[in-house]
Amino acid sequence: MSRVAVLTDSTAYIPDPILKQYNIFTIPLFVVWNGQSLRDGVDITPQEFYQRLATAKTMPTTSQPSAQDMKNAFQNLLDQGYDVLGIFISSKLSGTVQSAHQALEMMPQAASRIAVVDSLSTAMAMGFQVVQAARAAQQGASLTECQQAALTAQANSSVYFVVDTLEFLHRGGRIGGAQALLGTALNIKPLLELRAGRIEAVEKIRTKSKAIERMIELTAERVAGRTPVRLAAVHANAEAEAQALLEAAAAKMNPVETFFASVSPVIGVHTGPGVVGLAFMSGV
Residues 6+ apart with CB under 8 A from 27: 7, 8, 9, 10, 65, 69, 70, 73
Number of domains in the chain: 2
Tens digit of pLDDT at every position of the chain (284 positions) = 569 999 999 999 999 999 999 999 999 999 999 999 999 999 999 999 989 988 888 889 999 999 999 999 999 999 999 999 999 999 999 999 999 999 999 999 998 999 999 999 999 999 999 999 999 999 999 999 999 999 999 999 999 999 876 666 555 444 454 454 554 545 678 888 999 998 888 988 888 999 999 999 999 999 999 999 999 999 999 999 999 999 999 999 999 999 999 999 999 888 888 999 999 999 99
Q: SS3 for 25?
A: strand
Q: Name the pTM for this structure.
A: 0.92
Which CB contacts under 8 angstroms, 24+ apart, belong to 190-193? 190/162, 190/163, 190/166, 191/160, 191/161, 191/162, 191/215, 191/218, 192/160, 192/161, 192/162, 192/163, 193/158, 193/159, 193/160, 193/161
Instruction: Give yes or no for a contact between 111 and 143, defined as CB atoms under 8 angstroms apart.
Output: no
Q: Write down which residue in 92, 123, 154 finishes a domain.
A: 154
Residue 206: the pLDDT is 84
Q: Write down which residue in 107, 125, 154 finishes a domain.
A: 154
Nearest to 208 by CA among 191, 225, 185: 191
**140 and 184 part of one domain:** no
| Distance between CA atoms of residues 202 and 180, nearest Å | 11
**88 and 196 part of one domain:** no
**150 and 164 part of one domain:** no
**13 and 97 part of one domain:** yes
**210 and 94 part of one domain:** no
| Distance between CA atoms of residues 233 and 19, nearest Å | 17
Domain assignment present for 47: no
CATH number at residue 202: 3.30.1180.10
Structural domain including 257 reads 157-282
**121 and 217 part of one domain:** no
